Amino acid sequence: MLAIAISLGLEIDEIQHLLKKAGYALSASLPNDAVVCWFLSGDRKVDGTVPVLFHINEVLDELKLPLLMTRLKSS
């Protein structure tokens, strides 16, 4: 659900609301969530031609954290 919300271009407040309705929440204390929040904070400059989801997964992969839209940890 998180990856879909990001792909739709929802703002972080909208994503938090959607996740809350589903019984979930982003937490700054969880490494994966912290990366997502960092990208969605609005202060990050990313290449507009590449979806932000790819940038998020790239950082998650570098940090050896599970990628969005998969249950596997990066190698």
More confident residue, 21 or 45: 21
* DSSP string of the chain, one letter each residue: -HHHHHHTT--HHHHHHHHHHTT----TTSHHHHHHHHHHTS-----TTS-HHHHHHHHHHHTT-BPTT-SSBP-
- Give the residue extent of every domain in the chain: 2-62
- Decide if pLDDT at 6 tops 70: yes
Average pLDDT over residues 22-40: 92
